[in-house]
Structure 1
């Protein structure tokens, strides 16, 4: 029987023609196979898809394959089952050369054999494979990001805006509190970190203002007696409508670094005191010798007026000793609150300690002060900076004397527009080469051999940075060096 039904002219001719029209118009390829697996009919779509295989109508679909390899064909089992068991089968299979096509195939039993509907799904497969690969890549990246987030050496957290509850945090952030992340989720910021001013910082971020590299210090709920230090950055999280929906936080704990830095600062203070010891002893020894002589003269004097004059002079010498002692005692004393002091007072207090060394070295001091306004700062720290610079200048002129210029004036930080005091320490000493100048503020770098610690200028810059100021240097080998300090008038506000 014809695969499309009865011959032309029968009463079913219209039906046959409709079926033929359907077979030709459908987007599926259609094959009829007789019981010997010979292709008896292919519609236009099937012929177009299988055209690379050449003429196939009238051929057995297995004849080009050795019998030993037929069971390896992707459609052999399904076609055989449909043919023998008279059941419909549906499957997907890849047809290799010369087609290189993925098909979705449906096989149905018929009176004369089987009818096969097949559709080219190569593009769908390609898109599916691309989607699968992208999904796998996205999952891999998500897993990598999650691993980085979880094991990052800095604390990471996400907060809501409702009293700043922890929504998510990594292991490092939870370790600040000695807990696991799941033990912190749901708790509030101030519950875990009752640090003054921290909530106000979050309020700013919630209003859309990022906080970047902010120095935070205080105690946490798990150890209220330990003072700790962090560098923190807080950023607003925006929703699709542009409103802030949360806050992300990145926190790097620098407690150990801070303690080491403070220890180095204390170490340098001791080193400075050691370097000044000879000068201080000389400064005290001279007036004490004078006092001894004056007391002897007063004791042996026959005239009361002369004795009174000797005693008055001795008193002045003792007051000088007392002043030197007072300056020495407070030289490195760290106050817990800032003080207002002028640049002239800071310079004078340093020179009083170095007076003996200045005289002995033959260095001429040239002073000029054009700014009488006080700077609010930690005077002990700033005095330490000026002492380092004066000491280094004296070292640079140790062999042949020279001139040291000490200046103060009003200046402006042109980056911020803030006004402040500019203190200049310049000398006519040996100067520095470009190579030395490039490393001058590096910790432990020194040109003084075993007599230097390499900490003085590094710590000096750290101190000035903490006062929101700047420390700059200019130098030419053989021509001298100029250090310039800028301190805002309100260098420290609390």
Structure 2
């Protein structure tokens, strides 16, 4: 006998409805993330424009500051004040110049790249976010220059550093280790970035390099690690993560220390 209210008669429809609702929810989330990503692109363009506009008055400030400094005696209190003004203006100039360099389109050109220099540049850009974080640089002096796009690797390091900062809202330790790994075919450069933050739940580890995957309630696009993974892959390298909840996370990057091409200045086709 047929009973309309029996579970067997409504289960397929219920499952279909649930699936449609889940798909609709996921589509809405992706649309919101795309809108947020587009807004971040606009913010980046505005920041680059601001950096360009601030360079002109900054050049004038530095020019007049140099003239005043030359006109006063070295033991004058004014001289000490002018040294501070010049030093801070030069700092602003370096930051704006670096921001402009980072915002320019990158055609993917590879050249001889000093990994430690790129790491330090990325750390300098985020220094203002690290007031409660201890940064440890454990650089291996044996690490050679590698053929790579410095601006693309800097983007990877910025993404990883920002994730570490977000994972340590109350402060902590950020450790960057580099080393040379001797492989059977060729040497590899290893960069390990560790934090003492909240850690990543085990159920999320397999998804963190997927596009639009994020564990943040707000502010995250879910694209940083996805883009980082693609950049490292395009450099014939690898990136993996180890994490323990409540202890912290370590992202380890391996990049070829050499390239079979004789030239070190070329662009990817």
Deviation string, structure 1 residues 298-320 (Cα, Å, up to 9, x no partner): 79x99674233332332222221
For 2:227 and 2:152, locate their aligned partners in 1 and report how far apart those are by CA, in whole Å: 10
Q: Which residue of 1 aligns with 2:139?
A: 369
Moved more, 345-354 or 450-459: 450-459
Q: How does 1:65-104 map to 2 (within 5 A)?
A: none
Would you tell me which structure has more helix in proportion to its own residues? 2
SS at structure 2 position matched to 1:318: helix
Once the two structures are TM-superposed, the CA of residue 409 in structure 1 deviates from its matched residue by 1.2
Q: Which residue of 1 aligns with 2:246?
A: 478
For 2:38 and 2:183, locate their aligned partners in 1 and report how far apart those are by CA, in whole Å: 28
Once the two structures are TM-superposed, the CA of residue 339 in structure 1 deviates from its matched residue by 1.8
Deviation string, structure 1 residues 167-204 (Cα, Å, up to 9, x no partner): xxxxxxxxxxxxxxxxxxxxxxxxxxxxxxxxxxxxxx
The reply to whether residue 455 of structure 1 matches residue 229 of structure 2 is no
**Do the aligned partners of residues 413 and 331 (structure 1) sit closer, same or farther apart at CA in structure 2, a change above 3 Å counting?**
farther
Which structure is larger by alpha-carbon Rg, 1 or 2? 1
Q: Is the Cα contact below 8 Å between 2:113 and 2:149 reproduced in 1?
A: no
Q: Is the Cα contact below 8 Å between 1:377 and 1:491 reproduced in 2?
A: no
SS at structure 1 position matched to 2:177: strand
Would you tell me which structure has more strand in proportion to its own residues? 1
Q: Which residue of 2 aligns with 1:120?
A: none
For 1:330 and 1:357, locate their aligned partners in 2 and report how far apart those are by CA, in whole Å: 20
**Equivalenced residues, count:** 208
The reply to whether residue 338 of structure 1 matches residue 110 of structure 2 is yes
Q: Which residue of 1 aligns with 2:8?
A: none
Unaligned runs of 5+ in 1: 1-263
The reply to whether residue 309 of structure 1 matches residue 77 of structure 2 is no
Once the two structures are TM-superposed, the CA of residue 420 in structure 1 deviates from its matched residue by 2.5
For 1:475 and 1:272, locate their aligned partners in 2 and report how far apart those are by CA, in whole Å: 33
Once the two structures are TM-superposed, the CA of residue 355 in structure 1 deviates from its matched residue by 0.5
RMSD over aligned Cα atoms: 3.2
Q: Which residue of 2 aligns with 1:469?
A: 237
Deviation string, structure 1 residues 339-375 (Cα, Å, up to 9, x no partner): 212111011000110001101xx01101111034111
Once the two structures are TM-superposed, the CA of residue 271 in structure 1 deviates from its matched residue by 5.4
For 1:347 and 1:467, locate their aligned partners in 2 and report how far apart those are by CA, in whole Å: 17
Q: Which residue of 1 aligns with 2:206?
A: 438
2:160 to 376, 384, 389: 389
Output the TM-score relative to the length of structure 1: 0.38
The reply to whether residue 351 of structure 1 matches residue 123 of structure 2 is yes
Deviation string, structure 1 residues 431-467 (Cα, Å, up to 9, x no partner): 0111011111111110113311111111111110010
For 2:220 and 2:154, locate their aligned partners in 1 and report how far apart those are by CA, in whole Å: 19
